[in-house]
Structure 1
């Protein structure tokens, strides 16, 4: 059966395709400085919400987010890209990033403390939040 090898401890897991469990493990890693409040509704945004989705809020100075984008795009969930703070930076994988003043207001209304911020959203409410650097490993 595919995927059984990754059921034990997290060591040795590869994030080429991140099943929902791996995504939740990534998002469940608490980091100091995360100020996004769980359970709060998302501020106004331009997309039609899915039942469960991932929202990535990032800026131009986040560095290489390739591993993070790969993991998120492999999750099977709709991914929303929000490019905040006014410097245009494209999102990968054919995603169209929301940019401009509205995107920055969205980020500030969420109280994002560190970019990138990844939000797992269920029915328009923040279910889980992760902020900070991603090294491509589940530790």
Structure 2
């Protein structure tokens, strides 16, 4: 029998083991956005040139938390089925106000404040 971690714990472990140098500041309030905030949620900020984000999207979706997709930098790139990506100038401004240094960026947000941040390439397995 194979033991599996709880999905949220797996996501937190993956986000916490980043080699990227995040400039997003923990504890800051999210900039203005078009969605109604949840008590705890995951925000994925990405662009068209991130490559294959399939494993990252799966890990985020498996967290069990509401997921917000932000497609920045003006070139449309779809989010996985069931997610509607926020796009356009306002989405890019959101990314820049956060001081995102690399796409994709994944934020764990609690009550509107950034609890954890991860930026860069995702190549880890969440098993």
* TM-score grouping bracket, smaller chain normalisation: over 0.9
Aligned: 1:61 with 2:49: yes
Q: Which of 92, 106, 109 lines up with 2:94 in the alignment?
A: 106
Q: Which residue of 2 aligns with 1:127?
A: 115
Aligned equivalents of 1:46, 1:77: Cα separation in 2 = 18
TM-score where L is the length of structure 1: 0.86
Aligned equivalents of 2:17, 2:68: Cα separation in 1 = 21
Distance apart, 1:138 and its partner CA: 4.7
Spell out structure 1 runs of 4+ moving beyond 4 A: none
User: Where do residues 8-87 of structure 1 align in structure 2 (5 Å cutoff)?
Assistant: 19-87=7-75
Q: CA RMSD in A?
A: 1.8
Partner of 1:5: helix, strand, or coil? coil
Aligned equivalents of 1:136, 1:32: Cα separation in 2 = 13
Distance apart, 1:136 and its partner CA: 3.9
**What count of residue pairs does the alignment treat as equivalent?**
127
Aligned equivalents of 1:70, 1:138: Cα separation in 2 = 10
Aligned equivalents of 1:131, 1:138: Cα separation in 2 = 16
Larger Rg belongs to? 1
Aligned equivalents of 1:55, 1:21: Cα separation in 2 = 16
Partner of 2:3: helix, strand, or coil? helix
Distance apart, 1:31 and its partner CA: 2.6
For residues 70-106 of structure 1, the C-alpha deviation after alignment (integer angstroms, 9 at most, x for no partner) is 1111110000000000000010021000000000000
TM-score where L is the length of structure 2: 0.94
Aligned equivalents of 1:47, 1:89: Cα separation in 2 = 19
